Amino acid sequence: MLIATILSQRTKDDNTRRASDGLFRRYGTVEELAEADPDEVAALIRPAGFPKQKSRAIVDCCRLLRDEHGCRVPEDTEALLGLPMVGRKTAACVRAYAMGIPAVCVDTHVHRISNLMGLVDTRDPLGTEMELMRITPRDRWIDINKYLVRHGQVVCLPNRPRCERCPVSHMCDHFSGRGA
* φ/ψ bin of 123: left (φ > 0), alpha (ψ from -120 to 50), beta (otherwise): alpha
- The tens digit of pLDDT for each residue in 142-176 reads 999 999 999 999 999 999 999 999 999 999 999 98
Distance CA(22)–CA(46), nearest Å, equals: 10
Distance CA(82)–CA(84), nearest Å, equals: 7
Whole-prediction pTM value? 0.90
- The tens digit of pLDDT for each residue in 4-58 reads 999 999 999 899 999 999 999 999 999 999 999 999 999 999 999 999 999 999 9
- The tens digit of pLDDT for each residue in 103-151 reads 999 999 999 999 999 999 999 999 999 999 999 999 999 999 999 999 9
Distance CA(155)–CA(164), nearest Å, equals: 9
3-state helix, strand, coil in the chain (%, to 5): 65, 0, 30
Q: Is 156 helix (H, G, I), strand (E, B) or coil?
A: strand
Whether 179 has a pLDDT exceeding 70, the answer reads no
Spatial neighbors of 177 by CB under 8 A, at least 6 apart, are none
